[in-house]
Structures are given as structure tokens and as C-alpha cells.
Amino acid sequence: MTMNIDYLAAPGVRGLKPYQPGKPIGELARELGLKQIIKLASNENRLGPSPKALDAIRAGLSEIALYPDGSGFELKAALAAKLGVEARQITLGNGSNDVIEQSAKVFLSPSHTAVFSAHAFLVYPIATQAVGAKAEVAPAHDGSRGPRYGHDLNALAERITGQTRIVFIANPNNPTGTYLKRDELGRFIAALPTHVIAVVDEAYFEYVEAEDYPDAMEWLPQFPNLIVTRTFSKAYGLAGLRIGYAVSSTEIADLLNRVRQPFNVNALALLAAAAALTDDAHLVHSLRLNRQGLNQLGSAFAERDLPFIPSVANFLAVDLGRPAASVYEALLRQGVIVRPLAGYGLPNHLRVTVGSAEENRQFLGALDRVLAL
Ligand SMILES: Cc1ncc(COP(=O)(O)O)c(C=O)c1O
């Protein structure tokens, strides 16, 4: 018997389109029977995690019959020491996605709006709509007053009303790789009305080497309405374990904790993240490979007259000058998974994650073959 259940869902959920992740390698292997596949589709770290994190996971395996420490005491202590904040200001998440959703649950309801930019990370509209709130999307820069496709802070400010409770800002943004400078973002947050929470999503923080890129955590003592989110999924190479965190005033941390699932972060993730924080050399190595990979891909795109959005993160969005969906599909048949960006309002762009030098070469070879078809 079939039955229409859809109408029973909460109104926000009824209209939701699920987040489309990068295609998993196993799925492509099943679909096309390919053996050699490279995935440059989800901004993971090609170098993988620190060996210290892997050791910590092995050592922790015997404990997995027990629930994890729901308060994440050890990891919060390590993060607090590293970041120069109090442990009470930290909220751990099952990926930073989790703390982004917690923020939406705490501050948004059907009478509220969340403001964010066009081409911003797609979890913001999902988190907003899932709690029945309304999304206000500000146009991105057109290139005349800021980096094309980047967040336009004036446009964001214009959409803030008495109903707004959250402004989501990805710095740098995914999938554009654009970033906001210290002065402009600092001024923007300082000028926010006190009823608006700024969620500054720094998922790619560790990768950014630009001198004028801000560490939003430095502003926490001034702004009780600021949440900064970071993750171990990207530069720390722990995407598969799902662990991220928010840092905020203790008042906000207390609110986030009220909606946090008990034991939301698993035991191995807690151990691996704490160990990863002790391995600066691995992080430095990751950043060096990323810089080289960005240069390799950027010069190759330039040689091919393919415009790309300058990126400070670990991926590049390249403009193919024509609908990218068919190129994406043809690349899949070549065993290369990248990310089409039509869902982000960029139908002619593909986003490619920086891989190893060899993977970047393979991707470029496959792209040449596909574009020559
Ligand atoms: C801008 C941004 N924020 C947050 C996330 C969430 O990552 P995670 O939940 O793995 O921490 C991502 C992942 O792609 C991202 O690109």
C-alpha cells in the first residue's frame, strides 16, 4: 500500500533538497566497473591524517565498547590551550556541520531569517530550512568592489532585519575559495545588531596563508554574538571520523550544549583529533603540498585559457565557459570524480580538490581528453 506521507513532514523539511556530497569512489566503481579512480570532490586532505592520529586510533580501539566522554574533556583542554580560549567556550561537533546545525536549532525558528551569500556552502540553507526559518540570500560580488563570486558584506548587511538571528559567513568560502579580509569582516561583525549571531565558518582556516586573512577567534572577547566553527576534516585529514568544533562566548556554548546530541563525537575521533593537534610538522607538510597543488592546477588552467576563481583553500573552481555537467559526467567515465557546481549557482564551473601532484596531472590529462571530444 502506498500512502502520501510527505504532507505530514514539517513545512521546512517538505521543501528540502538533501545535500549532494561528492560521489564516493565505491559508488563510481560499482556503476562503471572502474578500478582506477581518483576523487578530488570533497576537499579532503590527500596526505591523510597525521601518523600520530592513526596511532591514537589504534590504541583506542580496545575502548570502543564504552561510550565516549560526552564532554570531550581532553580534546577541549588541548584545543583551549592551542587556541588561547577557555574550554567552556568550545562545543564539539560530529563534523563542523553538526555545530552549524546546532546554531540553527538554537537561534532560528519559523519567525526568523538567516542571511548568507549566494554561492555559499549549501549546508546553510539546509540547516535554516530544516528548522522552518527563512533564508535570505545576498548576491555575491560581481567583481567591481570585491573578488568576483566572493561574499559582499554590504549586500549581506542590507538583508539583515529585526527578524534575522544568524548571518552565516564562510571564510574562506566553499566552493569559491574566496575570502574576506580582516578589516572588512571585523567592521561587519562590529556593526551587527546585538540580536544577530555571526557564524563564521573557518573550515579551511589552516590552509589560508594570506596576510590579511583574519583569525575570527581573536574577536571573541569583544563580541558575545560570535560563533567561529572549525573542523578536523580538511587540513587535519580526518573527514571520515567526523569531528569539528565551535568556539563562542560561554553563554552561546551553554545554549549549543542544550541541543547537542549526547555523545555526538565518537571516541576514536576524540583521540585522533587530540593527537593531530600535536603534529605541527604534518600540518606544515600538508600546507606545502596544497600550495604546490594550487599552483600546479592554477598554471595548468591558465595555460588552457580556463578562468578560475583565485582560491586560498584546498580547491579551485574552474569556469569551463559552458555547462559543466556533461564534462563532469565525462570525467567520471575517465575515473575522475570532481564536483559540479550548478547547485551553487555556478553551472559552468567545476570544483576540483587539490590532490597529489600525480592525481592533479591525471585530472588535467582527463580534462584535456574530455574537452577535446
Ligand atoms: C565551508 C564548509 N563548512 C563546513 C564544512 C563541513 O565540514 P565537516 O562537517 O566535515 O566539518 C565544509 C565541508 O565541506 C565546508 O566546506
Nearest atom (ligand 1) to Cα of 234: 10
Query: Which of 92, 168, 180, 234 is the pocket-test mutation for ligand 1 (most atoms within 8 Å of CB)?
Result: 234
C-alpha of residue 97 to centroid of ligand 1, in Å: 6
Using alpha carbons, select from 45, 21, 119 the residue that is nearest to residue 338: 21
Nearest atom (ligand 1) to Cα of 96: 11
C-alpha of residue 169 to centroid of ligand 1, in Å: 12
Q: Whose CA is nearest to atom 12 of ligand 1?
A: 203
Sign of CA dihedral 20, 26, 31, 35: positive
- Compute φ and ψ for 138, nearest 5 degrees: -90, 140
Q: How far apart are CA 308 and CA 147, in angstroms?
A: 12
Beta carbons of 172 and 140 less than 8 angstroms apart: no
Q: What is the pLDDT of residue 15?
A: 86
Q: How far apart are CA 226 and CA 246, in angstroms?
A: 10
Nearest atom (ligand 1) to Cα of 175: 16
Query: Which of 40, 43, 96, 339 is the pocket-test mutation for ligand 1 (most atoms within 8 Å of CB)?
Result: 96
What secondary structure does DSSP assign to 312-324, as a single string? SSSEEEEE-SS-S
Helices (H), 153-311: 153-158, 182-190, 250-259, 267-276, 280-303
3-state secondary structure of 370: helix
C-alpha of residue 5 to centroid of ligand 1, in Å: 31
- Compute φ and ψ for 300, nearest 5 degrees: -65, -40
- At a CB cut-off of 8 Å and minimum separation 6, what does 17 contact? none
Nearest atom (ligand 1) to Cα of 233: 10
Q: How far apart are CA 99 and CA 92, in angstroms?
A: 7
Q: How far apart are CA 328 and CA 324, in angstroms?
A: 6
Per residue of the chain (373 residues), what is the pLDDT tens digit?
778 888 999 988 988 888 888 899 999 999 988 889 999 999 999 999 999 999 999 999 999 999 999 999 999 999 999 999 999 999 999 999 999 999 999 999 999 999 999 999 999 999 999 999 999 999 999 999 999 999 999 999 999 999 999 999 999 999 999 999 999 999 999 999 999 999 999 999 999 999 999 999 999 999 999 999 999 999 999 999 999 999 999 999 999 999 999 999 999 999 999 999 999 999 999 999 999 999 999 999 999 999 999 999 999 999 999 999 999 999 999 999 999 999 999 999 999 999 999 999 999 999 999 999 7
C-alpha of residue 303 to centroid of ligand 1, in Å: 31
Q: Whose CA is nearest to atom 1 of ligand 1?
A: 174
The alpha carbon of residue 86 and the mean position of all alpha carbons in its chain are separated, in whole angstroms, by: 24
Q: Whose CA is nearest to atom 2 of ligand 1?
A: 203
Question: Cβ–Cβ contacts within 10 Å for residue 315, how many?
Answer: 28
Nearest atom (ligand 1) to Cα of 231: 11
Geometric angle at alpha carbon 133, from 164 and 89, rounded to 5°: 65
Question: Cβ–Cβ contacts within 10 Å for residue 72, how many?
Answer: 25
Beta carbons of 102 and 93 less than 8 angstroms apart: yes
Beta carbons of 60 and 247 less than 8 angstroms apart: no
In the chain the domains, ranked by start, together with CATH numbers, are 5-48+281-371 (3.90.1150.10), 65-276 (3.40.640.10)
Q: What's the burial of 49, exposed, middle or buried (CB within 10 Å: 0-12/13-18/19+)? A: buried
C-alpha of residue 373 to centroid of ligand 1, in Å: 34
Q: What is the pLDDT of residue 81?
A: 98
C-alpha of residue 96 to centroid of ligand 1, in Å: 6
Q: How far apart are CA 277 and CA 191, in angstroms?
A: 34
Q: What is the pLDDT of residue 177?
A: 98
Q: What is the pLDDT of residue 74?
A: 98
C-alpha of residue 230 to centroid of ligand 1, in Å: 8
Rg from Cα positions in the chain:
21
Q: What is the pLDDT of residue 194?
A: 95
C-alpha of residue 204 to centroid of ligand 1, in Å: 8
Query: Which of 233, 316, 339 is the pocket-test mutation for ligand 1 (most atoms within 8 Å of CB)?
Result: 233
Q: How far apart are CA 343 and CA 340, in angstroms?
A: 8
Beta carbons of 52 and 279 less than 8 angstroms apart: yes
Q: Whose CA is nearest to atom 16 of ligand 1?
A: 174
Residues within a 6 A CB radius of ligand 1: 43, 95-97, 121, 170, 174, 201, 203, 231, 233, 239, 244
What secondary structure does DSSP assign to 129-154, as a single string? HHTTPEEEEEPPP-SSSSSTTS--HH
Report in angstroms the alpha-carbon separations of 203 from 232, 244, 292.
Answer: 8, 9, 20
Half-sphere exposure of 217 (CA within 13 A, CB side): 16
Quick check: bond before 340 cis, omega within 30? no
0.85 exceeded by the pTM? yes
